[in-house]
Structure 1
Amino acid sequence: MKYCKYCGKGLHTASSFCPYCMKSQIAKQSAAMQQKKSKNIRYRFLEAGLLLLLCATIAVLCFLVWGKEPAETSTPSDSAIDTVKSSAATWTEPAQSTTAAATVSVDAAASSATDFMENANAAETAAASEAEASALSIGDYITAGKTRSQIQGYGGYTDIGGTILTIESITDQTITFSIVQYSDSGYAADTVSAKQITAQWVKNTAAFEFCDDTLDGKGYGTLSYENGTIHIETRSNTNHPTKLVLNEDLVGT
Protein backbone atom coordinates (compact mmCIF):
# COMPACT_ATOMS: atom_id res chain seq x y z
CA MET A 1 0.00 0.00 0.00
CA LYS A 2 1.04 3.61 -0.63
CA TYR A 3 -0.45 6.93 0.51
CA CYS A 4 -1.67 9.97 -1.42
CA LYS A 5 0.96 12.72 -1.36
CA TYR A 6 -1.82 15.33 -1.12
CA CYS A 7 -4.48 14.04 1.30
CA GLY A 8 -2.65 11.07 2.89
CA LYS A 9 -5.36 8.47 2.11
CA GLY A 10 -4.28 4.88 1.53
CA LEU A 11 -3.99 3.85 -2.12
CA HIS A 12 -3.24 0.69 -4.10
CA THR A 13 0.50 0.36 -4.85
CA ALA A 14 -0.16 0.69 -8.60
CA SER A 15 -2.51 3.68 -8.27
CA SER A 16 -1.51 6.79 -10.15
CA PHE A 17 -4.67 8.72 -9.20
CA CYS A 18 -6.30 9.43 -5.81
CA PRO A 19 -10.10 8.95 -5.84
CA TYR A 20 -10.44 10.86 -2.56
CA CYS A 21 -8.87 14.20 -3.48
CA MET A 22 -9.05 13.57 -7.27
CA LYS A 23 -5.36 14.37 -7.80
CA SER A 24 -2.84 12.54 -9.97
CA GLN A 25 0.13 10.96 -8.22
CA ILE A 26 2.37 11.10 -11.28
CA ALA A 27 3.37 14.15 -13.31
CA LYS A 28 3.15 13.45 -17.01
CA GLN A 29 4.64 15.01 -20.07
CA SER A 30 2.28 15.61 -22.97
CA ALA A 31 2.85 14.29 -26.47
CA ALA A 32 3.02 17.92 -27.68
CA MET A 33 6.07 18.49 -25.47
CA GLN A 34 7.67 15.31 -26.83
CA GLN A 35 7.13 16.54 -30.39
CA LYS A 36 8.54 19.96 -29.55
CA LYS A 37 11.62 18.33 -28.04
CA SER A 38 12.17 16.20 -31.16
CA LYS A 39 11.94 19.29 -33.39
CA ASN A 40 14.53 21.11 -31.28
CA ILE A 41 16.90 18.13 -31.63
CA ARG A 42 16.44 18.14 -35.39
CA TYR A 43 17.16 21.88 -35.71
CA ARG A 44 20.31 21.56 -33.60
CA PHE A 45 21.63 18.74 -35.77
CA LEU A 46 20.85 20.76 -38.91
CA GLU A 47 22.61 23.91 -37.61
CA ALA A 48 25.72 21.92 -36.63
CA GLY A 49 25.87 20.22 -40.05
CA LEU A 50 25.53 23.50 -41.96
CA LEU A 51 28.22 25.13 -39.81
CA LEU A 52 30.63 22.25 -40.47
CA LEU A 53 29.96 22.44 -44.23
CA LEU A 54 30.57 26.23 -44.23
CA CYS A 55 33.91 25.82 -42.44
CA ALA A 56 35.04 23.21 -44.98
CA THR A 57 34.08 25.49 -47.90
CA ILE A 58 36.08 28.39 -46.40
CA ALA A 59 39.09 26.09 -45.97
CA VAL A 60 38.96 25.08 -49.65
CA LEU A 61 38.77 28.71 -50.79
CA CYS A 62 41.79 29.56 -48.64
CA PHE A 63 43.77 26.72 -50.22
CA LEU A 64 42.86 27.89 -53.71
CA VAL A 65 43.67 31.57 -53.06
CA TRP A 66 46.92 31.13 -51.12
CA GLY A 67 48.23 28.36 -53.39
CA LYS A 68 48.38 30.56 -56.54
CA GLU A 69 51.80 31.65 -57.82
CA PRO A 70 52.40 35.43 -58.24
CA ALA A 71 52.00 36.79 -61.78
CA GLU A 72 55.19 37.57 -63.71
CA THR A 73 55.85 41.30 -64.23
CA SER A 74 58.83 41.07 -66.59
CA THR A 75 60.34 38.80 -69.23
CA PRO A 76 62.49 36.25 -67.44
CA SER A 77 65.95 35.24 -68.61
CA ASP A 78 66.82 31.70 -69.71
CA SER A 79 68.34 30.94 -66.35
CA ALA A 80 65.27 32.32 -64.60
CA ILE A 81 63.04 30.19 -66.82
CA ASP A 82 65.09 27.09 -65.96
CA THR A 83 64.81 27.95 -62.30
CA VAL A 84 61.05 28.39 -62.60
CA LYS A 85 60.70 25.08 -64.48
CA SER A 86 62.74 23.31 -61.83
CA SER A 87 60.65 24.86 -59.06
CA ALA A 88 57.43 23.98 -60.87
CA ALA A 89 58.57 20.37 -61.24
CA THR A 90 59.52 20.28 -57.56
CA TRP A 91 56.20 21.71 -56.32
CA THR A 92 53.79 20.00 -58.71
CA GLU A 93 53.35 16.96 -56.52
CA PRO A 94 52.73 18.89 -53.21
CA ALA A 95 50.26 21.17 -54.99
CA GLN A 96 48.34 18.20 -56.29
CA SER A 97 48.40 16.65 -52.82
CA THR A 98 47.03 19.87 -51.33
CA THR A 99 44.17 19.99 -53.86
CA ALA A 100 43.34 16.33 -53.20
CA ALA A 101 43.34 16.98 -49.44
CA ALA A 102 40.99 19.92 -49.90
CA THR A 103 38.63 17.77 -51.98
CA VAL A 104 38.65 15.08 -49.31
CA SER A 105 37.84 17.72 -46.67
CA VAL A 106 34.80 18.89 -48.66
CA ASP A 107 33.60 15.31 -49.15
CA ALA A 108 34.06 14.59 -45.44
CA ALA A 109 32.11 17.72 -44.49
CA ALA A 110 29.27 16.80 -46.85
CA SER A 111 29.20 13.27 -45.42
CA SER A 112 29.13 14.65 -41.88
CA ALA A 113 26.24 16.96 -42.77
CA THR A 114 24.35 13.99 -44.21
CA ASP A 115 25.01 11.98 -41.05
CA PHE A 116 23.72 14.88 -38.94
CA MET A 117 20.48 14.99 -40.94
CA GLU A 118 20.00 11.22 -40.70
CA ASN A 119 20.56 11.32 -36.92
CA ALA A 120 18.10 14.22 -36.60
CA ASN A 121 15.45 12.32 -38.56
CA ALA A 122 16.06 9.20 -36.45
CA ALA A 123 15.70 11.23 -33.24
CA GLU A 124 12.44 12.75 -34.47
CA THR A 125 11.09 9.34 -35.46
CA ALA A 126 12.02 7.89 -32.06
CA ALA A 127 10.33 10.78 -30.23
CA ALA A 128 7.19 10.39 -32.34
CA SER A 129 7.13 6.64 -31.63
CA GLU A 130 7.51 7.29 -27.92
CA ALA A 131 4.63 9.78 -27.96
CA GLU A 132 2.45 7.33 -29.90
CA ALA A 133 3.28 4.50 -27.48
CA SER A 134 2.24 6.64 -24.51
CA ALA A 135 -1.25 7.34 -25.97
CA LEU A 136 -4.34 5.35 -24.97
CA SER A 137 -6.06 3.82 -28.02
CA ILE A 138 -9.48 2.41 -28.87
CA GLY A 139 -9.80 -1.35 -28.28
CA ASP A 140 -9.86 -4.02 -25.57
CA TYR A 141 -7.76 -4.10 -22.39
CA ILE A 142 -7.86 -7.31 -20.35
CA THR A 143 -6.66 -8.54 -16.96
CA ALA A 144 -2.85 -8.58 -16.96
CA GLY A 145 -1.32 -12.07 -17.12
CA LYS A 146 -4.39 -13.76 -18.63
CA THR A 147 -5.74 -14.52 -22.09
CA ARG A 148 -9.21 -13.63 -23.32
CA SER A 149 -10.20 -17.32 -23.43
CA GLN A 150 -8.99 -17.84 -19.87
CA ILE A 151 -10.97 -14.83 -18.62
CA GLN A 152 -14.14 -16.02 -20.37
CA GLY A 153 -13.70 -19.62 -19.16
CA TYR A 154 -12.90 -21.33 -22.46
CA GLY A 155 -10.22 -23.92 -23.17
CA GLY A 156 -10.09 -25.84 -19.89
CA TYR A 157 -8.22 -23.23 -17.84
CA THR A 158 -8.26 -23.61 -14.06
CA ASP A 159 -7.67 -19.96 -13.09
CA ILE A 160 -10.58 -18.42 -14.99
CA GLY A 161 -12.38 -15.10 -14.61
CA GLY A 162 -11.18 -11.53 -14.99
CA THR A 163 -12.04 -8.24 -16.63
CA ILE A 164 -12.32 -7.00 -20.22
CA LEU A 165 -12.53 -3.23 -20.63
CA THR A 166 -13.35 -1.87 -24.09
CA ILE A 167 -12.38 1.70 -25.04
CA GLU A 168 -15.11 2.83 -27.44
CA SER A 169 -14.10 6.44 -28.07
CA ILE A 170 -11.54 8.89 -26.74
CA THR A 171 -10.81 12.60 -27.24
CA ASP A 172 -8.60 15.17 -25.55
CA GLN A 173 -11.38 15.75 -23.00
CA THR A 174 -13.59 12.65 -22.71
CA ILE A 175 -13.38 8.87 -22.77
CA THR A 176 -16.18 6.33 -23.30
CA PHE A 177 -15.74 2.69 -22.31
CA SER A 178 -17.52 -0.49 -21.18
CA ILE A 179 -16.53 -3.03 -18.52
CA VAL A 180 -17.34 -6.75 -18.31
CA GLN A 181 -16.24 -8.71 -15.22
CA TYR A 182 -16.28 -12.48 -15.72
CA SER A 183 -16.72 -14.58 -12.60
CA ASP A 184 -14.22 -17.21 -11.51
CA SER A 185 -17.17 -19.62 -11.28
CA GLY A 186 -17.44 -19.67 -15.06
CA TYR A 187 -21.21 -19.15 -14.99
CA ALA A 188 -22.68 -16.50 -17.26
CA ALA A 189 -25.20 -15.61 -14.54
CA ASP A 190 -22.33 -14.41 -12.33
CA THR A 191 -20.95 -12.09 -15.01
CA VAL A 192 -21.62 -8.37 -14.43
CA SER A 193 -21.06 -5.41 -16.72
CA ALA A 194 -21.48 -1.66 -17.13
CA LYS A 195 -21.88 -0.25 -20.64
CA GLN A 196 -20.94 3.07 -22.30
CA ILE A 197 -19.48 4.89 -19.32
CA THR A 198 -18.43 8.43 -20.29
CA ALA A 199 -15.99 10.42 -18.13
CA GLN A 200 -13.77 13.47 -18.27
CA TRP A 201 -10.27 12.54 -19.49
CA VAL A 202 -7.57 14.71 -17.87
CA LYS A 203 -3.84 13.90 -17.98
CA ASN A 204 -4.49 10.21 -18.77
CA THR A 205 -6.84 9.90 -15.77
CA ALA A 206 -10.64 9.73 -15.44
CA ALA A 207 -13.06 9.64 -12.50
CA PHE A 208 -16.50 8.19 -13.28
CA GLU A 209 -19.84 6.90 -12.02
CA PHE A 210 -21.75 3.94 -13.46
CA CYS A 211 -24.80 1.69 -13.23
CA ASP A 212 -24.29 -2.04 -13.75
CA ASP A 213 -26.44 -4.21 -16.01
CA THR A 214 -28.81 -5.12 -13.18
CA LEU A 215 -30.21 -1.55 -13.48
CA ASP A 216 -30.05 -1.29 -9.72
CA GLY A 217 -26.39 -1.55 -8.75
CA LYS A 218 -24.42 1.69 -8.82
CA GLY A 219 -20.82 2.60 -8.20
CA TYR A 220 -17.98 5.01 -8.91
CA GLY A 221 -14.31 4.67 -9.71
CA THR A 222 -11.11 5.91 -11.30
CA LEU A 223 -9.22 4.89 -14.41
CA SER A 224 -5.60 5.82 -15.16
CA TYR A 225 -3.25 4.96 -18.04
CA GLU A 226 0.53 4.70 -18.10
CA ASN A 227 3.09 2.82 -20.24
CA GLY A 228 0.50 0.66 -21.99
CA THR A 229 -1.33 -0.36 -18.80
CA ILE A 230 -4.73 0.74 -17.48
CA HIS A 231 -5.29 0.65 -13.74
CA ILE A 232 -8.94 0.66 -12.74
CA GLU A 233 -10.53 0.83 -9.30
CA THR A 234 -14.27 0.81 -8.60
CA ARG A 235 -16.29 1.06 -5.39
CA SER A 236 -19.91 0.28 -4.64
CA ASN A 237 -22.59 2.84 -3.91
CA THR A 238 -23.83 2.34 -0.33
CA ASN A 239 -27.53 2.73 -1.08
CA HIS A 240 -27.48 0.79 -4.36
CA PRO A 241 -24.48 -1.60 -4.17
CA THR A 242 -22.99 -3.00 -7.36
CA LYS A 243 -21.22 -6.32 -7.90
CA LEU A 244 -18.75 -4.65 -10.25
CA VAL A 245 -15.96 -3.97 -7.74
CA LEU A 246 -12.45 -3.87 -9.27
CA ASN A 247 -8.86 -3.05 -8.39
CA GLU A 248 -6.56 -4.38 -11.09
CA ASP A 249 -4.26 -3.69 -14.03
CA LEU A 250 -5.40 -4.23 -17.62
CA VAL A 251 -3.21 -4.49 -20.73
CA GLY A 252 -4.03 -4.01 -24.41
CA THR A 253 -4.67 -6.95 -26.71
Structure 2
Amino acid sequence: MWAFIHKLGSPKWFYAISARLQPWFWALAILLLLVGSVWGLVFAPSDYQQGNSFRIIYVHVPAAILAQSCFVTMAVAGVIFLVWKIKIADMAAAVIAPFGAAMTFVALFSGAVWGMPTWGTWWVWDARLTSMLIQLFLYLGVIALRGAFASRDSGSRAASVLALVGVVNIPIIKYSVDWWNTLHQPATFTLTERPAMPVEMWLPLLVMVLGFYCFFIALTLTRTRNEILRRESAKRWVRELVAGTARRG
Protein backbone atom coordinates (compact mmCIF):
# COMPACT_ATOMS: atom_id res chain seq x y z
CA MET A 1 0.00 0.00 0.00
CA TRP A 2 2.70 2.48 1.01
CA ALA A 3 4.73 1.51 -2.05
CA PHE A 4 1.75 2.38 -4.25
CA ILE A 5 1.26 5.73 -2.46
CA HIS A 6 4.97 6.47 -2.89
CA LYS A 7 4.73 5.71 -6.62
CA LEU A 8 1.55 7.79 -6.93
CA GLY A 9 3.45 10.71 -5.44
CA SER A 10 6.04 10.55 -8.22
CA PRO A 11 5.24 13.13 -10.93
CA LYS A 12 6.81 10.95 -13.62
CA TRP A 13 4.80 7.84 -12.62
CA PHE A 14 1.56 9.81 -12.22
CA TYR A 15 2.06 11.39 -15.63
CA ALA A 16 2.46 7.96 -17.22
CA ILE A 17 -0.47 6.23 -15.47
CA SER A 18 -2.83 9.17 -15.96
CA ALA A 19 -2.19 9.04 -19.71
CA ARG A 20 -3.89 5.62 -19.73
CA LEU A 21 -6.75 6.59 -17.44
CA GLN A 22 -7.88 9.94 -18.79
CA PRO A 23 -9.27 8.74 -22.17
CA TRP A 24 -11.58 6.31 -20.33
CA PHE A 25 -12.89 8.99 -17.99
CA TRP A 26 -13.39 11.45 -20.84
CA ALA A 27 -15.33 8.83 -22.80
CA LEU A 28 -17.45 7.91 -19.76
CA ALA A 29 -18.11 11.58 -18.98
CA ILE A 30 -19.28 12.36 -22.51
CA LEU A 31 -21.46 9.24 -22.68
CA LEU A 32 -23.07 9.70 -19.24
CA LEU A 33 -23.67 13.43 -19.67
CA LEU A 34 -25.18 12.91 -23.11
CA VAL A 35 -27.47 10.09 -21.95
CA GLY A 36 -28.42 11.87 -18.73
CA SER A 37 -29.16 15.18 -20.46
CA VAL A 38 -31.39 13.68 -23.13
CA TRP A 39 -33.11 11.37 -20.65
CA GLY A 40 -33.73 14.10 -18.09
CA LEU A 41 -34.59 16.98 -20.40
CA VAL A 42 -36.63 15.09 -22.99
CA PHE A 43 -37.98 11.80 -21.66
CA ALA A 44 -38.37 12.31 -17.89
CA PRO A 45 -41.95 13.25 -16.91
CA SER A 46 -42.68 16.80 -15.77
CA ASP A 47 -43.23 17.50 -12.09
CA TYR A 48 -46.88 17.69 -11.00
CA GLN A 49 -46.27 20.96 -9.12
CA GLN A 50 -43.34 22.67 -10.87
CA GLY A 51 -43.96 21.48 -14.41
CA ASN A 52 -40.90 21.54 -16.65
CA SER A 53 -39.04 24.11 -14.54
CA PHE A 54 -37.91 21.26 -12.26
CA ARG A 55 -35.63 19.97 -15.06
CA ILE A 56 -32.89 22.38 -13.97
CA ILE A 57 -32.36 19.82 -11.19
CA TYR A 58 -30.31 17.80 -13.69
CA VAL A 59 -27.67 20.55 -13.63
CA HIS A 60 -28.20 22.11 -10.20
CA VAL A 61 -27.96 18.99 -8.03
CA PRO A 62 -24.88 17.42 -9.72
CA ALA A 63 -23.09 20.79 -9.64
CA ALA A 64 -23.90 21.31 -5.95
CA ILE A 65 -22.81 17.79 -4.98
CA LEU A 66 -19.60 18.04 -6.98
CA ALA A 67 -18.79 21.50 -5.60
CA GLN A 68 -18.77 20.08 -2.09
CA SER A 69 -16.86 16.94 -3.11
CA CYS A 70 -14.20 19.09 -4.79
CA PHE A 71 -13.66 21.07 -1.60
CA VAL A 72 -13.29 17.92 0.50
CA THR A 73 -10.87 16.46 -2.07
CA MET A 74 -8.88 19.70 -2.06
CA ALA A 75 -8.70 19.64 1.75
CA VAL A 76 -7.51 16.01 1.75
CA ALA A 77 -4.86 16.88 -0.84
CA GLY A 78 -3.85 19.78 1.40
CA VAL A 79 -3.33 17.43 4.36
CA ILE A 80 -1.22 15.09 2.22
CA PHE A 81 0.90 18.01 1.05
CA LEU A 82 1.33 19.53 4.53
CA VAL A 83 2.16 16.24 6.25
CA TRP A 84 4.02 14.20 3.63
CA LYS A 85 5.18 16.98 1.27
CA ILE A 86 3.88 15.11 -1.77
CA LYS A 87 4.01 17.52 -4.71
CA ILE A 88 1.34 15.76 -6.76
CA ALA A 89 -1.19 16.41 -3.99
CA ASP A 90 -0.48 20.14 -4.16
CA MET A 91 -0.68 20.12 -7.96
CA ALA A 92 -4.05 18.37 -7.81
CA ALA A 93 -5.33 20.82 -5.19
CA ALA A 94 -4.22 23.74 -7.36
CA VAL A 95 -6.19 22.54 -10.39
CA ILE A 96 -9.24 21.44 -8.37
CA ALA A 97 -9.81 24.88 -6.80
CA PRO A 98 -10.90 26.75 -9.99
CA PHE A 99 -13.10 23.85 -11.06
CA GLY A 100 -14.73 23.66 -7.62
CA ALA A 101 -15.35 27.42 -7.69
CA ALA A 102 -16.95 27.07 -11.12
CA MET A 103 -19.22 24.27 -9.91
CA THR A 104 -20.23 26.32 -6.86
CA PHE A 105 -21.12 29.25 -9.12
CA VAL A 106 -23.12 26.96 -11.42
CA ALA A 107 -24.99 25.56 -8.40
CA LEU A 108 -25.77 29.07 -7.10
CA PHE A 109 -26.78 30.42 -10.51
CA SER A 110 -28.95 27.44 -11.45
CA GLY A 111 -30.51 27.54 -7.99
CA ALA A 112 -31.39 31.21 -8.50
CA VAL A 113 -32.96 30.44 -11.88
CA TRP A 114 -34.92 27.58 -10.30
CA GLY A 115 -35.89 29.71 -7.30
CA MET A 116 -37.70 32.36 -9.36
CA PRO A 117 -40.61 30.16 -10.53
CA THR A 118 -40.56 28.10 -7.32
CA TRP A 119 -40.12 30.73 -4.58
CA GLY A 120 -40.97 33.86 -6.54
CA THR A 121 -37.50 35.38 -6.01
CA TRP A 122 -33.97 34.93 -7.33
CA TRP A 123 -32.32 34.94 -3.92
CA VAL A 124 -33.13 34.62 -0.22
CA TRP A 125 -30.67 34.56 2.67
CA ASP A 126 -31.52 30.92 3.21
CA ALA A 127 -29.10 28.82 5.30
CA ARG A 128 -28.28 26.49 2.40
CA LEU A 129 -27.80 29.31 -0.11
CA THR A 130 -25.74 31.43 2.28
CA SER A 131 -23.43 28.56 3.22
CA MET A 132 -22.92 27.77 -0.48
CA LEU A 133 -22.06 31.42 -1.11
CA ILE A 134 -19.51 31.22 1.72
CA GLN A 135 -18.04 28.15 0.00
CA LEU A 136 -17.59 30.17 -3.20
CA PHE A 137 -15.70 32.84 -1.25
CA LEU A 138 -13.55 30.12 0.36
CA TYR A 139 -12.66 28.76 -3.08
CA LEU A 140 -11.74 32.26 -4.28
CA GLY A 141 -9.67 32.75 -1.12
CA VAL A 142 -7.75 29.53 -1.74
CA ILE A 143 -7.07 30.56 -5.34
CA ALA A 144 -5.97 34.06 -4.28
CA LEU A 145 -3.63 32.77 -1.55
CA ARG A 146 -1.69 30.67 -4.05
CA GLY A 147 -0.71 33.80 -5.95
CA ALA A 148 -0.25 36.07 -2.95
CA PHE A 149 3.21 34.80 -1.93
CA ALA A 150 6.56 35.17 -3.66
CA SER A 151 7.33 31.54 -2.75
CA ARG A 152 5.13 28.89 -4.35
CA ASP A 153 5.56 26.59 -1.34
CA SER A 154 4.39 29.33 1.04
CA GLY A 155 1.33 29.95 -1.11
CA SER A 156 0.60 26.24 -1.27
CA ARG A 157 0.84 25.87 2.51
CA ALA A 158 -1.42 28.88 3.12
CA ALA A 159 -3.98 27.60 0.61
CA SER A 160 -3.91 24.14 2.19
CA VAL A 161 -4.51 25.57 5.67
CA LEU A 162 -7.46 27.65 4.42
CA ALA A 163 -8.91 24.56 2.70
CA LEU A 164 -8.65 22.63 5.98
CA VAL A 165 -10.37 25.42 7.90
CA GLY A 166 -13.01 25.86 5.21
CA VAL A 167 -13.95 22.19 5.11
CA VAL A 168 -15.89 22.85 8.34
CA ASN A 169 -18.45 24.56 6.10
CA ILE A 170 -19.30 21.31 4.26
CA PRO A 171 -21.41 19.71 7.05
CA ILE A 172 -23.09 23.09 7.54
CA ILE A 173 -24.13 23.06 3.87
CA LYS A 174 -25.30 19.46 4.08
CA TYR A 175 -27.31 19.68 7.31
CA SER A 176 -28.49 23.30 7.07
CA VAL A 177 -31.94 22.21 5.88
CA ASP A 178 -32.25 20.03 9.01
CA TRP A 179 -30.77 22.45 11.54
CA TRP A 180 -32.68 25.57 10.45
CA ASN A 181 -36.09 26.39 9.01
CA THR A 182 -35.20 27.01 5.36
CA LEU A 183 -36.97 27.34 2.03
CA HIS A 184 -34.54 24.93 0.41
CA GLN A 185 -35.80 21.39 -0.01
CA PRO A 186 -34.06 18.47 1.76
CA ALA A 187 -31.32 16.45 0.07
CA THR A 188 -32.36 14.77 -3.17
CA PHE A 189 -30.17 11.71 -2.51
CA THR A 190 -29.46 10.07 0.84
CA LEU A 191 -27.82 6.77 1.71
CA THR A 192 -30.52 5.80 4.21
CA GLU A 193 -33.77 6.70 2.43
CA ARG A 194 -35.32 5.98 -0.92
CA PRO A 195 -35.58 9.06 -3.20
CA ALA A 196 -38.94 10.83 -2.97
CA MET A 197 -39.03 11.26 -6.76
CA PRO A 198 -40.30 8.49 -9.04
CA VAL A 199 -37.65 6.31 -10.61
CA GLU A 200 -38.23 7.93 -14.03
CA MET A 201 -36.95 11.21 -12.56
CA TRP A 202 -34.11 10.19 -10.24
CA LEU A 203 -32.43 7.63 -12.52
CA PRO A 204 -31.42 10.25 -15.13
CA LEU A 205 -30.34 12.47 -12.23
CA LEU A 206 -28.09 9.68 -10.96
CA VAL A 207 -26.62 9.31 -14.46
CA MET A 208 -25.92 13.06 -14.54
CA VAL A 209 -24.22 12.95 -11.13
CA LEU A 210 -21.96 10.12 -12.29
CA GLY A 211 -21.26 12.01 -15.52
CA PHE A 212 -20.26 15.14 -13.57
CA TYR A 213 -17.89 13.07 -11.40
CA CYS A 214 -16.29 11.43 -14.45
CA PHE A 215 -15.87 14.86 -16.01
CA PHE A 216 -14.23 16.11 -12.81
CA ILE A 217 -11.79 13.18 -12.71
CA ALA A 218 -10.95 13.48 -16.43
CA LEU A 219 -10.39 17.23 -16.22
CA THR A 220 -8.33 16.91 -13.03
CA LEU A 221 -6.09 14.28 -14.62
CA THR A 222 -5.62 16.39 -17.74
CA ARG A 223 -4.90 19.64 -15.89
CA THR A 224 -2.63 17.93 -13.34
CA ARG A 225 -0.57 16.50 -16.21
CA ASN A 226 -0.19 20.03 -17.59
CA GLU A 227 0.77 21.28 -14.13
CA ILE A 228 3.42 18.56 -13.87
CA LEU A 229 4.98 19.66 -17.15
CA ARG A 230 4.97 23.28 -15.99
CA ARG A 231 6.48 22.68 -12.54
CA GLU A 232 8.87 19.92 -13.55
CA SER A 233 10.08 21.59 -16.76
CA ALA A 234 13.69 21.53 -15.55
CA LYS A 235 13.68 17.77 -14.97
CA ARG A 236 15.45 15.58 -17.50
CA TRP A 237 12.50 13.27 -18.18
CA VAL A 238 10.26 16.27 -19.01
CA ARG A 239 12.86 17.75 -21.37
CA GLU A 240 13.21 14.38 -23.11
CA LEU A 241 9.43 14.03 -23.34
CA VAL A 242 9.02 17.49 -24.84
CA ALA A 243 11.91 16.92 -27.25
CA GLY A 244 10.45 13.57 -28.34
CA THR A 245 7.04 15.15 -28.91
CA ALA A 246 8.62 17.95 -30.96
CA ARG A 247 10.48 15.44 -33.14
CA ARG A 248 7.30 13.45 -33.80
CA GLY A 249 5.43 16.65 -34.58
**TM-score, structure 1 length as denominator?**
0.26
Identify the structure with the greater helix proportion.
Answer: 2
Which entry has the higher C-alpha Rg, 1 or 2? 1
Q: Which has the larger share of strand?
A: 1
Q: Normalising by the residue count of structure 2, what TM-score does the alignment of the two structures yield?
A: 0.26
